[in-house]
Amino acid sequence: MLISLDPQDTRPIYVQIVDEVRRALVLGTLGPDDPLPSVRDLAVKLRVNPNTVSQAYRDLERQGMVYVRRGQGTYATPGQTDGVERRTLADGVAQRALHDARRNGLGVNELIDAIRNHDNHRQTEESL
């Protein structure tokens, strides 16, 4: 599992870490019962305050995405590749897209049309 942070992302770091873990869980790069890096290792790797990493891990545990084995570390809860977390991810993507659309003065339907259009083009290109 690779966790990296986008320097352009202005959301709180712990939110970014939670999202990264969620993404890894849904994609499967963090499999069921796989261990997460220790708070210390992740803090050092990302050059992040360890308290922030702890906060992210606590949030993940609260949301049920990970569980803690006393004295051993944090592990991914099985069964994350569909359902709640997937929808949460989709919600995040939609939110960002809508935000961008609004910023450019576009309405929801314009955005949906553009997405469908783009996807059609992509499918056409791929089948060639």
Partner 1 sequence: MTSPLPTRLRDGDLAVETRGLTKRFGDQVALNDVSLQVPVGAVYLLVGPNGAGKSTTLKVLLDLMRADQGTAEVFGLSTRERAPEVRANVGYVPERPDWGYGWMRVGRLLEHHALYYPTWDASYAEKLVQKFELRLERKMGVLSKGQARRVHLTMALAHRPPVLLLDEPTDGLDPLMRDETFGVLADHLAESQTTVVLSTHHVEEVERLADHIGVLRSGELRAQMSRADLDAGLRRYRVEVPDKWPGVASLNGKVLRRVTAPREVQWTVWGPETEIVQKLSSAGGTVREVVPLSLLDATLALLNPND
- Count of residues of this chain found to bind partner 1 when the rule CB under 8 A is applied: 22
Quote the least distance from Cβ 56 to partner 1, whole Å: 12
Q: Any contact of residue 11 with partner 1 (CB under 8 A)?
A: yes
Piece in contact with partner 1 (CB under 8 A), picked from 23-31, 38-46, 81-89, 120-128 = 38-46
Handedness of CA 77, 82, 83, 86 (dihedral sign): positive
Q: Any contact of residue 56 with partner 1 (CB under 8 A)?
A: no
Q: Any contact of residue 43 with partner 1 (CB under 8 A)?
A: yes
Q: Any contact of residue 50 with partner 1 (CB under 8 A)?
A: yes
Q: Any contact of residue 44 with partner 1 (CB under 8 A)?
A: yes
Instruction: Pick the binder of partner 1 from 4, 6, 82, 103 (CB under 8 A).
Output: 103
Q: Any contact of residue 70 with partner 1 (CB under 8 A)?
A: no
Those residues with Cβ within 8 angstroms of residue 80's Cβ, 6 or more apart along the chain or in another chain: 25, 26, 32, 65
Q: Any contact of residue 99 with partner 1 (CB under 8 A)?
A: yes
DSSP secondary structure letters along 56-108:
HHHHHHHTTSEEEETTTEEEEPS--SSSHHHHHHHHHHHHHHHHHHHHTT--H
